[in-house]
Amino acid sequence: MKELYQKLRSFNGKNYGLYKSLGGKSWPFGDFTLEFIHVQGDPFAPASRLKFSAPLDLLGIPVEWGNFSVKRLALADFLLRKLASEIASRAEEGEGKFPVSVLVPGEEVLVRNALWVGGPSENAGKAMVEVVLSVDLPGEKRQIDVPAAMELLTSLIPDLLMALYLNAETEKKKALDCIESLEVREALLLETQKRGFVAFVPNGSVLPRESGTSDLPKKGAIPFQSPKELLQTFEVCGKQISGMAIPKGITVIAGGAYHGKSTLLSALESAVVPHILGDGREWVVSDPSAMRIAAEPGRLVKGTRIAPFVRELPFGVSTESFETSSASGSTSEAANVMEALEFGTRTLYIDEDASAVNFLIRDSRMRELVGERDEPLIPLSDRIAELKSLGVNMVLVVGACGDYLKVADTVLVMKNYEPFCETVKAKEIAARSPEQCPLQKLPPFGNFECRKLPQLSEALLPGIKTRNAFERQVKVRLRGSELSIGYVRADLRAIFPKAETAKLSGLGLFLLNLLQNAENVPANEAIRKLHEQIRNVGFRRLPQGFSKDSALPRMEEIASALLRMSMEN
């Protein structure tokens, strides 16, 4: 750290812009190496970005933890939360704005650029920790405040980085607990898939959340308990874990209002990614490709084939490649289903409350009143058996659409947040119900072929450019749930209703790189290739990969965002 100390001393009385000279090289920083990734231009500009790197062994971390991707992901998540907690604690003690910040993660365990644990193959045989801090470099009247800078860089930050050391056995044990929790979760997912289940909810899980806007577990919530008909026990990582396994096929979740139907479905939706130890859903697992499907009135649709659900519209509007700047509830939900299938989803989660009724069902009276020739919509109830035969699973929450009892393979009824398997009773009720009009004869559903990336990106490329002469790179911007990349924008409310901001930033960086390097391959292949690269080596190889706090979304979420992107008006 001596070299940096001497450099800072030489700044005495110098212009603030001289901080820029700290970039472009690596500085010894105790057990760490420091790089100035971005240096702010003046004291009032967005904070500088500083990256600190150190080998695991120098931090008291067992080097073998760096040899496996699951261990590295869990360790990175643990260290980031530990560091964020330390920074928050120190910030509360002081007055005024604290000069150091780091990404504060939510309940999900994700690849984040704020803290990355790289394997030996990435770093000349040594597993490394990399942490990126946002730092306000001190200045006074556009001059460098040398005493404050020396205090910040040679005292405060080294103290904060002590949170990354695991020399104490108690700290190692906490980290190991998080690692083992994620390993159990991944093993459960593997066993669930091997046995042919869509999802698994362990007994004792806490599914309710604090509120509709919070992802924290609800205090005093009733622990989950599986009905005996769906009870399965998995032996993983030396543990026996019992709970409810949802089979492939069509599952209906029914029950009275406020009895936990949507809570269970929401837990399944969120289980496509891991959650932290103590979240209550840490061992709930779900088909990783699963998507929540809902009506989205007003959404942009760009050339999506919705013909399996919507015949040709009035005035000769084709639905083989449907275009609209403001879809209706039913056409938007049809597009959401078709796009999910196009990009590889094979499990759909649907809540009646969030759906267009005319997309879900069409009863016999309406079929009689409005004949097939005059109704372009084909309800999901007419297509669901065919979708099942094509390998698509569905979990539907219903409170009024009893038509689905006839086609359901499994029926759950929620009572006071407790699930009961009522498949036999539901089938008896369905058998007693009067028959509807015979289902219409429909053309085959067709395949789920994915469009090539240039088909989706070509119209956007003119907008992927800087917005003014002062920008050296195309900027990713967020305004609430609206993402903009240059002159291209997308409304993400339906895709990320409660996501941490870093996930939206990560999405922007991903799409920027995807669009700037568009290959003539199916879009799902291009997304998978870049996604695997980031999962393997982090954001480091992306241009602007450390420019802002970012987390990696799922491939399915990235595809959904790409399909909603358009040029600004």
Q: In this predicted structure, what is the pLDDT of residue 213?
A: 83
Q: What is the pTM (predicted TM-score) of this model?
A: 0.94
pLDDT for res 289: 97
Quick one: pLDDT at residue 325? 94
Residue 110: pLDDT over 90: yes
Which residue in this structure is represented by tokens 């391959």?
521
Q: How far is CA 129 from CA 46, 177, 182, in A?
A: 25, 19, 19
- From the list 414, 381, 544, the residue with the least C-alpha distance to 476 is 544
What integer pLDDT is reported at residue 68 of this predicted model? 94
Determine contact, residues 189/133, Cβ cutoff 8 Å: no
Q: Can you say how many angstroms the Cα of residue 416 is from the centroid of all Cα atoms in its chain? A: 30
Strands 128-135 and 48-55: antiparallel
Three-state DSSP class for residue 108: strand
Rounded mean pLDDT of 297-325? 93
Q: What sign results for the dihedral spanned by CA atoms 424, 429, 434, 435?
A: negative
Position 129: which residue type? Answer: V
- Alpha-carbon gap, residue 292 to 331, rounded angstroms: 16
Q: What angle do CA 68, 72, 73 make, to 5 degrees?
A: 120
What integer pLDDT is reported at residue 94 of this predicted model?
A: 79
* Beta carbons within 8 Å of 153's beta carbon, 6+ residues apart: 4, 8
Contact between 200 and 211 (Cβ < 8 Å): no
Comparing 285-294, 357-366, 430-439, which segment has the lowest mean pLDDT? Answer: 430-439
pLDDT, average across residues 383-388? 96
- pLDDT number for residue 332: 98
Tell me the mean pLDDT in the region 548-566.
97
Residues 394-437: tens digit of each pLDDT: 999 999 999 999 999 999 999 999 999 999 999 999 998 776 55
Q: Compute the distance between CA of residue 271 and CA of residue 283 in angstroms, rounded to an integer.
A: 8
CA distances from 87 to 167, 170, 221 (A): 19, 20, 31
Specify the pLDDT at position 435. 62
**Burial (CB count within 10 angstroms: exposed 0-12, middle 13-18, buried 19+), residue 410:** buried
Confidence label for 438 from pLDDT (cuts 50, 70 and 90): low
Label residue 40 by pLDDT band (50, 70, 90): very high
